[in-house]
Amino acid sequence: MPYRARAIRLAVVALLAIVYGRAEVAARTDTQVWHVTVALRIGDGHGRPVEVHVALPPETPAQRVSDVRIVDRGLKTQTIQGEEPEVVLSGIVRKSRRVAVSYTVAISAEEKTVPLIEPPEDPPLELYTEMSPAPLFPSRSILVREFLEENVGPVLAEGNRGVMRAIYNVMRRRFEHKTDGKSLPLDVLRRGHGQRIGLERLFTTFLRCARIPARFIEGAKLDSRTKRKRVFWTEVWADGEWWPVSVSRGWIGKRSNDLLALTYDGRRPVQVEGEATVTYTLQAHRRRGEQ
């Protein structure tokens, strides 16, 4: 084989290797597969019936769940699908016991260009809840409305940057994150600082007051070293889809592939009905070589 021909072939192979290699790198950073385990310790239920609800991640375009497994140690288990999927563990607990719920989830990173978001003229009926007040989102409080009118109103009057961004910018400027701060929206509003959970709840509250559908997300930052890896952000509805925004961490439309959404609007990832106490940790590791 002439030297030139071999050189060309090698060059083509090298080029293909580079192209495919880059593509693989890009895909790896885009979607990450995680193996997640919720390890629960259910305390003494005094021989009475106990029901433990463990939230499973909802299926969204950004996260796909598969391979749900439950190590139940004698409890009755039920997996419920739907908008708020969950595993329900029920039975009588006389002694403390450990239970594990594990699943695989593929999370796609999102880096969206979020449009200018204004209150929708005619929002769909199914968004009623995401526009309504709730105990954790006091969107019909006079304090909330007053804050918007006095602080966000002038920003909007300067030029239209979209109501959502105006609220976001004012919150970034006016509210401080404090790890020992408060978590309830009105407490944060009165003090001007709060925990991340409080800031996101207040952001959701402001958006709902401005008649923009918004939902509060509790999730897990899967590469975190904390026990529960709790993380919070907000999703804002516009143009028929939900856009991720975090006022407490300062991003709009950019969600990394280690952020797992677990529940909406204050629902707890683990809920107990009955007298038993339940503690849990969330463990996660990347599935290498999988996309």
Partner 1 sequence: MSKSSMRQRAPWSSRALVAGFILVLAPSAFAAPTVHLVPADDNALAIVTLIGRGLKDPVLLVDARDQATLSAAAAEWKGEVECYHRPAARRAVVDAMAAIADESCAAVADLAAAVHDLWPQPKTVVAVLEESYDWMLRGAAFAGATGAAILPLAPGVRFDAAALGAWTQVERVYLTAGVEVDPSVDPAKVRRLDTPTAVVDELKALVGEKLDQVVVVANAQDRLGTFSPSSLSLVAPLVSAMHKAPLILVSSAAGEVVEREVLAAIDTHALTASHIILVGDELALRSHRIPDPVLAAGGPEARGGGTIVRVELFSQIQNEQPQDFAVGRIVAEDAAQASALLARQQHRRNNRTQRPVVFLTNADSVFALGETISRATTRDLGNVGVSVRAYYRGEITPEIIRQTMLQTNVLVWEGHPRDLTLEERGGIAVDTAPEIAILQGCYTLDRSDPMILIEKGTEAIVATSAAIYSAPGSAFARALFDAVLYDDADLGIAVRNARNYLLALAQLQRLRGYNEWHKTFRAALAFALWGDPTLAIPLKTGKPSVKPVLWEASDDELTLSIPRQRMREVAVDNYVVKPVPRTMYGGLVVQMSDGKRRELKDMYYGVRRMSEAQKHVCLPDQSWGEVISLYAPRSRTLFVLARPEWEKYPDRKQHGTYRFRLGQDASICVGPTQPVGVGP
Binding site for partner 1 (CB under 8 A): 128-130, 132-135, 137-143, 145-146, 148-150, 152-153, 156-157, 182, 186-188, 190-191, 209-211, 265-267
Q: Kindly state the smallest distance separating residue 163's Cβ from partner 1, in Å.
A: 8
- Cα atoms found within 13 Å of the Cα of residue 8, Cβ hemisphere only: 4
Given the complex with partner 1, which of 235 and 258 has the nearer CB atom? 235
Given the complex with partner 1, which of 133 and 253 has the nearer CB atom? 133
Q: Kindly state the smallest distance separating residue 89's Cβ from partner 1, in Å.
A: 22
Q: Kindly state the smallest distance separating residue 110's Cβ from partner 1, in Å.
A: 25
Given the complex with partner 1, which of 144 and 282 has the nearer CB atom? 144
Q: Kindly state the smallest distance separating residue 211's Cβ from partner 1, in Å.
A: 8
Cα(291)–Cα(279) distance, rounded to whole angstroms? 32
Cα(193)–Cα(130) distance, rounded to whole angstroms? 24
3-state secondary structure (DSSP) of residue 134: strand
Q: Which of 240, 239, 185 is nearest to 207 (CA)?
A: 185
E strand map for 114-201 = 176-177, 193-194
Given the complex with partner 1, which of 73 and 190 has the nearer CB atom? 190
Q: Kindly state the smallest distance separating residue 285's Cβ from partner 1, in Å.
A: 32
The DSSP code sequence of 198-261 is: HHHHHHHHHHHHTT--EEEEEEEETT--SSS-EEEEEEEEETTEEEEEETTTTEESEE-TTEEE
Given the complex with partner 1, which of 20 and 128 has the nearer CB atom? 128
